[in-house]
Amino acid sequence: MSRGEEWLFDRYQSINEVFVDGKRVIRDVMLLENPALQKNRGAAFPLAERPLKDRLAPYSCYATVFILGPLAQTTLSALEKEYASITQFQAPAPPPFIWSFSTIQYGQGSKGGVVRVAAKETETVKFWLKKILAPLSDVVGSDVFGKILV
């Protein structure tokens, strides 16, 4: 947002696939589409005509992180434990930051995870990811976060 970026598009589609030993273990698809385009496709229950920016409010930054492999097990366990400790309750307004964690079983007892994050500010996502992924700096290199989380 500090660079003038906004959700100003009619359609966004992202497909991420992760393969281990030639076998797909993760397929994650995201589709954000303008409601007017849905109407044109004959949707049974079209959403009210509101720009994506308004429909996704108050969040403007999203991230999805796939974590797999034997060297990531400590980080996965910490995420699983922290996520299990979250208490959900009804709030009068959306919080400035939300996250979720899903475990994935693949191969012969191998475990991975998917972290999804949404926040009002990009910096919030960046600092949170740096914190939770810090134990992986021994695996991926200590300078990697400075390069990818700019």
Q: Which residue is listed with tokens 């076998």? A: 23
- Mean pLDDT throughout 20-41? 80
- Mean pLDDT throughout 26-38? 80
Proportion of the chain above pLDDT 90, given as a percent? 49
Phi, psi of 146 (to 5 degrees): -65, -30
| pLDDT of residue 42 exceeding 80 | no
- Supply the pLDDT for residue 125: 92
Ramachandran area for residue 141 (φ above 0: left; ψ -120 to 50: alpha; else beta): left
- Mean pLDDT throughout 72-100? 92
- Supply the pLDDT for residue 7: 67
Q: How far apart are CA 117 and CA 121, in angstroms?
A: 11
Three-state SS string over the chain comes to: CCCCCCCCCCEEEEEEEEEECCEEEEEEEEEEECHHHHHHCCCCCCCCCCCHHHHHCCCCEEEEEEECCHHHHHHHHHHHHHHHCCCCCCCCCCCCEEEEEEEEEECCCEEEEEEEEEECCHHHHHHHHHHHHHHHHHHHCCCHHHHHCC
The model's confidence at residue 8, banded by pLDDT at 50, 70 and 90, is confident
- Mean pLDDT throughout 38-55? 64
- Mean pLDDT throughout 90-94? 89
The model's confidence at residue 116, banded by pLDDT at 50, 70 and 90, is very high
| pLDDT of residue 100 exceeding 90 | yes
| pLDDT of residue 52 exceeding 90 | no
114 or 36, greater pLDDT:
114
| pLDDT of residue 38 exceeding 70 | no
Among residues 119, 140, 126, the alpha carbon closest in space to that of 67 is found at: 140
| pLDDT of residue 46 exceeding 60 | no
* Integer CA distances (angstroms), 77 to 3, 28, 74, 102, 135, in order: 36, 22, 5, 11, 12
Ramachandran area for residue 63 (φ above 0: left; ψ -120 to 50: alpha; else beta): beta
- Mean pLDDT throughout 44-70? 81
